[in-house]
């Protein structure tokens, strides 16, 4: 399903979905990919994001490709201490 053919209401809260470009974090094993400007539907009420099949496949293909990403960002990893 592409974002333009998705439902117009949020599965989580029933809110209205609008078309937007979003940032998506994907994990594949120990590898993490950050994708900017991904086409999606976003709920105006709760913010839930729905990415279409074409975009999801594109992200998987990009992460599996031997080419390097367009840029790299530093991401800190924190261990949550139980209270």
Domains annotated for the chain, with CATH where assigned, are 3-64 (3.10.20.860)
pLDDT, tens digit (0-9, with 9 covering 90-100), for 20-42: 999 999 998 888 999 999 999 99
Cα 39 to Cα 6: distance, rounded to the nearest angstrom: 12
Q: What is the pTM of this model?
A: 0.78
pLDDT at residue 52, as a whole number:
95
Cα 59 to Cα 75: distance, rounded to the nearest angstrom: 19
Cβ distance 14 to 48 under 8 Å?
no
């Amino acid at each position: 399903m592409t974002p333009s053919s998705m439902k117009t209401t949020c599965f989580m809260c029933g809110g209205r979905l609008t078309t937007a470009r979003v940032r998506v974090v994907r994990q594949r094993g120990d590898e993490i990919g950050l994708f900017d400007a991904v086409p999606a539907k976003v709920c105006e009420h709760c913010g839930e994001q729905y990415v279409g099949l074409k975009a999801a496949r594109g992200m998987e293909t990009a992460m599996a490709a031997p080419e390097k990403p367009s840029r790299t960002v530093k991401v800190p990893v924190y261990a949550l201490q139980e209270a």
